[in-house]
Every structure is written in structure tokens, then in C-alpha cells.
Structure 1
Amino acid sequence: MMHFIKIFPILLAIVAVGLIVSCEDENSLNPGNQAPTIPPQSSMIINFDDFPDTSSLSKLDFSQLTNRNWGWAAHNIVFWNSVLTLTFAIPVAAFAESFNHQPVKQPDGSWLWQYSVTQQEPIYTAKLYGKTVAEGVEWKMLITKEGEYTDFEWFTGFSNLPLTEGTWTLNKDPNSPSPFLFIEWHRNVQEETANVKYSLITPTSPADSSFIFYGKTNEVLFNRFYQIYNAENNNLIDINWNYEQYFGRVKDAIYFEDENWHCWDEKLDDQDCSE
């Protein structure tokens, strides 16, 4: 009896360790037992504020500009920002709010984040579903506006398990419930680099396949970039700039009527690219 009393704590410890290992193994073998991590906001939302001083763009007179190069780059960025902000304000706000809530596991193995979102006075109900599959997580956002529409599927998506890349597909709105925007995103957390590309899905429009591509890099001289493609006139605009010091350059064969870079300095004034 005394022998048993002495070894009982040891047996208890072994059993406890076994239970812990068993639970860990179960979670690793069946990741559906754990709520998936929502992809970062940057996977859906380009930070247009990264580009220097676009707030004063509406006041500029392009015919009088001494910073025409920066101004043309900013004009194209602000245009896309305006289109995306007006078109997708509701689903973007709903996605951003999801990070403030905890999910509940559903009978089918998916996880549900459910909450309310206020966007310009109306209150919307958002349901974000995430379901772990073999290679990653499938996402779906349903949004309800009382009296107008119920559980409209505003976007779907997929992210890989390490959360280093994924996609989103956004439908235009409840009145036009068809795919309108495709988003591809990548990031490297260790190197602090990332990129996201928005492409229009408008098969009946000349603008189909137009895109804006934003990236954050580790390059010393220019550590941010945009590529803006207009499918209607088959034109690609390249924009590079230094995030910390504001200087940059733009290339647009149609607007500048050449294939050269056109630069601006840290004060956003035009500058010879050889300087």
C-alpha cells in the first residue's frame, strides 16, 4: 500500500502528460477544432495613405504644377481609392470589424463571427464564416440590411494555413450580385514585405482585367510601388517611391509620351531622374 502511495503521484503525472499530448495531437491532426485566424486587414485593404500627401490633390492645377510628376501618380492612385471606397465601403467595414469579435463553432465544422456594423447610420449584420480545409481556410461573408436584403454573399476567399497568401472575390452589390473584384495577396512577415493586387472582373466592359497592384519591399531606394493597368487603352503606369523620404518616380507612356521615368524629390517637386 505504501509503495502505491509513493508511485501514485508519478502515475498521475504520466496520465496528465498523456492527456495534454493527446489533446495537442488531436488539434494538430484536426485543425478544425481550432478557430482559423482571419487574414490581416492588409490582405483586403490597400493603405492608400502610404503615398505622400494625396490629401491636397483636389486643390492642384495640373496646368500650373511644378510637381506634375508626383501629381499624375497621385491622381491615378486617388482615382482607384475613390472607386474602391465608394463601391466596397460596406464589406470592407464589415471585414475590419471582424477582428473585434470571437467566433463560435458551427455544426458543420466551420466557425462563425457574427456582429453588427454601423456604416453611415444604417446598421448591418455581418456573418463571417471560416472553414479549415486540407490546404488552408475558406472564407465567406454574408451581410444583412434589415428591410432590404438578407445574408447577401458579399465576398468569398481563401487563405493558406501559414497566412502568407490568399485571395478574395467580391461581388459588386445586392443589386448586381456577380463577381466584380478579384484580390490576390502575399506577405512575408519575417522580411516585412507584402503585396496586394485588385483586378476588375467586368466581362462585358472594356475595363475588364484592369488592375492596381501595390507592394511593400525591402529595396533601399524605392521601397513602395504601384502598377496601375487600364485595359481599355492597354496602358500600364509604374510608380515607385521612398516611403520615409517621399521622393519617387512615375512612368506612363501615354501621358508623358515616352518610355522614361519622371521623378519627384522629397518636396514632391519635379526633378531630373539623373540627379
Structure 2
Amino acid sequence: MESVRLNNGVEMPLVGLGTFKVRGYEAVYLVLDAALRHGYRSFDTASVYQNEADVGRVLKELLPKHGLSRTDVFITSKLAPRDHGAGAEAGCLRSLEALDCQYLDLYLVHWPGKQGCKSEDPGNPGWRQQSWEAMEGLYGSGRFRALGVSNYTEGHLRELLAKCRVKPAVLQVEYHPFLVQSQLLAFCRASGIHLQAYSSLGTGCLVAEPTVAGLAHSYGRTPAQVLLRWALQQGIGVIPKSTHPERIAQNAQLFDFHLAEEDMQALSGLHSDTRYCWDPRHVV
């Protein structure tokens, strides 16, 4: 796996395994075992995924099996929106306890708004600030190796950058050919923030798109591989999720082919501002 050096010097694999909706010990074991076997070294979870404890337990069991140790893997988790503000430190510590880790490699604010409050609630900026300060404290003590945010807009990022002591290293957002957030990507590049994409396949809707399917045929690759490679060639990290060992293997085979520039442009030209997940633009 190729990696990216974050703005604080931490190395993060460009390809990670997403675990959204992967729940239960047996399901997590099957998925992580296949992922480790096929070279994945980065694993993305979150408090709201309700699988942190199983991910932590399974990794402890599987790492020796694959001849690996904790330092060989990169573990990411995220602060639940319900814990924004005064409850942020406790929320962070719950993730550490559930994953049974002395430290996490990356910890993200999952959403810019507080759960149970309206998107337009004027308290959101203050709660975000409290959460970030709590995370900065755990970063300073070595419990988090890097900090970042998820689902932040450029406005949310500018607000954070104006006040933070520890600069966010990663922004994780929905990004695929139907949602080419080029302005946000440019801002992240200018600010030294690595952009990591989730929902690279458009929750599965993009694999049958004619342009994607046609390119997959011409390159002798799967549609998923084409979509993931499109992101990687822009310097964007990806965290594809699958519960099928064969697809997990395929989704890691991204570094032995290259999309031609005209094909990159054809995929980017599919942009229609279509979101398959959450839209954070309305959160003040």
C-alpha cells in the first residue's frame, strides 16, 4: 500500500478499509481477516458505527496471525455527534476504551453539528470548538497521533483553522465522479490538509454508470477499481467497504494500473452535484 505523509509527519495508507454497517464479531472477523491478508493496513470506524469494540477485539486476535503488531496498522475513529461540546473528551475516551487501544492513529470529528439540535442552531460553532479543544488535549498526551474532521465544508474548515492550536491533518468527505468537490479539494491542498473520500462508489450506484462500466471493460478492471483509482490519481485517499472477501481483495489492487488523462476527465465530467449521503452545507 502506498501512503501519504500528513501535515504533522504521520504516515497514513492511501487505501483503508471502511467498516460502516459491518457489525457483529463474526462479520468483523471475516472482513478484517480478508483485509489483512490482502494488504490493508488502515481501518476506519466510528462511535456511531457501533462496532468499535469488535474491531478492537478482532484486530488484537488477527494481528499475530498475520505476523503483525499494533504499530503495523493505522486505526481511525470518530467523535459521535451526540458528544459534541462538553461531552467530547468522554466520547473520545470511550472510543479508546472500546477499541482497547493505548492510542489511535487518527481521530475525526464526525459531523459539524450536535445531535438533537437543529442544523441552524447558533450553538454549533461553540460545540465544535469545545470538541476540537478536547481532541487537542488528547493529541498532546499522545492518545491521538493525528486529528481531523469529517463532513466539514470549506466554511467549517476556515472557522477551525482560525482558532485551532493543532491543525487538522485530514478531511473525510463524500467524493466521487457525481460529486467532484474540486473547490474543497483545492482548499485542502492549499491548507496542507489531506482529503480522504468516503462513498467512492456512490453507495454502489456508480458501478453500473455507462462511462464507468465502459472504462472498466477497456482497462480489464472492475468498475469499483476504476472509481477508486480515479480518486487516488488526484491524491485523494479512499476507504472502500465490502463484506465480500473477493471484492476486498480487488479493491486493494489499485497501484498496478493508471487511468489516461482523457479518461480521468471523462469521469470528472460526470459531476452532477449528487450526494448519496449527508449534506453538511446547511449546518451553521
TM superposition score normalised by structure 1: 0.31
Bigger fraction of residues in strand? 1
**Greater Rg by CA:** 1
Q: Identify the structure with bigger relative contact order (alpha carbons < 8 Å, sequence gap 6+).
A: 2
